[in-house]
Amino acid sequence: MRAVPSGVHGAGTRAWLAAAAVAACVAAPLTAAAAPVPGTTARPASASVPVSVPASASVQAPVPASVQAPVPASVQAPVPASVPASGPDQAAAAACGSTNVALGRPATASSTEGPFGAASAVDGDPGTRWASEFSDPQWIRVDLGSVQDLCRVDLSWEAAYGKGFRIEASDDGSAWRTLTTVTNGTGGNQSLEVTGSGRYVRLTGTARGTGYGYSLWELRVFTGDGGTTPGDPIPGGGDLGPNVQVFGPDTPTAQVQAAVDAVYDQQEADQFGDGRHQFLFEPGTYPVHVNSGFHTSISGLGTRPDDVNITGGVWADAEWFEGNATQNFWRSVENLAVTPSGGDMRWAVSQAAPMRRVHVKGNLMLHSSRYGWASGGYIADSVVDGQVRAWTQQQWYTRDSTLTGGWAGTLWNMVFSGTENAPPTSFPEPAVTTLDTTGVIREKPYLYLDGDDYAVFVPAHRDGTRGATWDGGTTSGTSIPLDQFYVARPGDPAERINQALDQGLHLLLTPGVYETTGTIEVDRADTVVLGLGYATIVPTAGQTAMRVGDVDGVRVAGVLFDAGAAESPSMLTVGTAGSTADHADDPISLHDVFVRVGGAHAGRVDQAIVVNADDTIVDHIWSWRGDHGDGVGWDVNTARNGLVVTGDDVDGYGLFVEHYQEYNTLWTGERGRTIFYQNELPYDPPNQAAWNHDGIRGWAAYKVADGVTQHEAWGLGSYCVFTSDASITSDNGFEVPVTPGVRMHSLLTVSLGGVGTYEHVINGVGPRAAGTETIPAKVVSYP
């Protein structure tokens, strides 16, 4: 094993290592997606669906309300009860019913100021109003009595108006769907056309337009009983789009090689570009060498990995970055076998680069050909016949696999669970942590060929797992034909995707960048959301990008969320805050879900991934506030938390959470379990004063809330490199309640080149991490 040299060299120095320790990495130029290579095949042979331009969800600004301070209702001029519809589509407005179905219905609110209760906003009296407390967020909702088709919501604001708010609907008052989002409201009278249905309609205010609260004279709701008719059903299935290339065993080898080379030439160094690519190999043998660049997925279409054999090799190296693999992100290989022509498969990667369901018929090299640093990584449900050689890898998590030839090379944090022939636990030296089994887990869904047709296989959830699901047998689960999926294309608006989901279809996101102005709402039990080729969702209206209801068995897999310039509450929210619904028999699961805040462009989010639902499986995430690229800076790509868990009995396997400005991970639910955690603290606090709270220096990387009584975690590492002020100190890398039911194992903190300090590892325990030698501070167990 190569010794770690003194100085800065870790994952935390990704923005430094290419040239000099003080120069930030220059982002790769943005490029358009590559055109498909002529001659590649696509299955099934259905007509391509033209890419549509997303419909705008922007709201026409009404006449501004008075900017004077609000005065009592008794002296305020009332707003006329009749509010005309506005907007360019007068025909659509005319088709909406004219009856205010909210009139006199039961209404509730998050808060009330004085005598101005929620019922006053639905009483039909233009001189009475609802008013909230002076804080964000606030909401008012009305119960329509039954599920109804909704087409318009009219608002009559008092002077204390909402600048930012959402109109939401729910069938049960628990799982909410966003109908429209407003980020630049100016008060007065607003008429908002909406599409959707629900029994409950809620206005949720996210940004007040004044220093007061929210205040509504009237909230009116209109339905489609005035002549609107539902649209035609959205069909399932279809073409996978121009960024999916499918190869069969009869495709000429030269043609396959040319296709994969053309994409790699574009994607090798295009870290933040718009290119998204998926290679699919039908069962057969392929004597080609497949290099993997950014935003590229390589997958087999067999029922078992050995149905597809790449006999040249699958390769991820770091020549584009002079052998340094600490920025080899966003690429994957799944469901195939590799028989490397030279005996070695190289997968020199860092975060968001999973290897799943792969049979390596040779050795597996996790370092670059130049032995530069790497900051990976993740393997699951795989078999390696030869030896795995990690050498310059800083950390790695291997789950439910077989390493026939063993493992060589340990640097800071190597973790194994349910892995046959893994090295035994030897933490702190060498830093290996091994668990015999994993626990409750479900493997990621994957696309495959069921005869001549595409289908998605959904593995069943298991407990006490060990080894690959397919090694010596078949993977248990269910198959869903592609015609039961809405096959989405970039340009599809959230409203159409939600219509398809409401109709009962699953969701397949073909490769590309999806800019949306609405929240994608997944409210049906056992819905599968599967992204191909790093399909990327960008919320552009300050909304949550995707919300999963508190229902059984939803799977979200293979999706990259890229925060937009307007701050979103979250990128992905799972379940409803405060819910106690039991999903133990059919857990919700997340697989290869990635978040990016800055890097490609300026982005903002409050809490990136929020898990409220009990019994959720979080199977490999990378939640990343950008430390290099475009749109990064302490006051630019703002983001408070990377992962927040409020649900009980949530299991986390392979959690990578980096650079957030407060607690990177905040866990308030009971009986949480984490196996492997990798973190870097934010690089860019301007000084210590800007990064303190409650008399504590800094924010812990992983915080278990004080009231939690049961929690357990294994193999946790946190690294710091404070580029603006090397004197900044974090008092603790980890903070947990001191109680017998909270147990932590194999923890370490690292000061990268002495650029910053950890005073202790956990709760005032453990040595100081400081100095240019970059020696980890370790705690074997706590308490």
CA dist 293 and 313 (Å) reads: 14
C-alpha to C-alpha distance for 757 and 483, rounded to whole angstroms: 55
Q: Pick the catalytic residue: 521, 680, 735, 759?
A: 680
- What DSSP state is assigned to residue 84? -
Element (H, E) at 457: strand 453-459
Secondary structure of residue 691 in the 3-state scheme: helix
**Cβ-count burial of 41 within 10 angstroms (0-12 exposed, 13-18 middle, 19+ buried)?**
middle
Q: Are 273 and 296 in contact (CB under 8 A)?
A: no
Q: Is 247 exposed, middle or buried (0-12, 13-18, 19+ CB in 10 A)?
A: buried
Are the CB atoms for 150 and 228 separated by under 8 Å? Answer: no
Phi, psi angle pair for 331, to nearest 5°:
-160, 155
Question: Which has the closest alpha carbon to 455: 388, 506, 404, 386?
Answer: 506
Query: Is the peptide bond between 430 and the residue preceding it cis, with omega within 30 degrees of 0?
Result: yes
DSSP string, 713-735: EEEEEEEE--SS-TT-EEEEEEE
Helices (DSSP H) in 472-561: which residue ranges? 494-503
Helix (H, G, I), strand (E, B) or coil at 497: helix
Q: Is 334 a catalytic residue?
A: no
The helix/strand/coil state of 280 is strand
Query: Mapping DSSP to helix (H, G, I), strand (E, B) and coil, where does residue 267 land?
Result: helix
Residue showing tokens 């049961």: 710
- Residues 459 and 477 sit within 8 Å (Cβ to Cβ): yes
* Cα 196 from Cα 214, distance rounded (Å): 25
Return the active site residues: 680
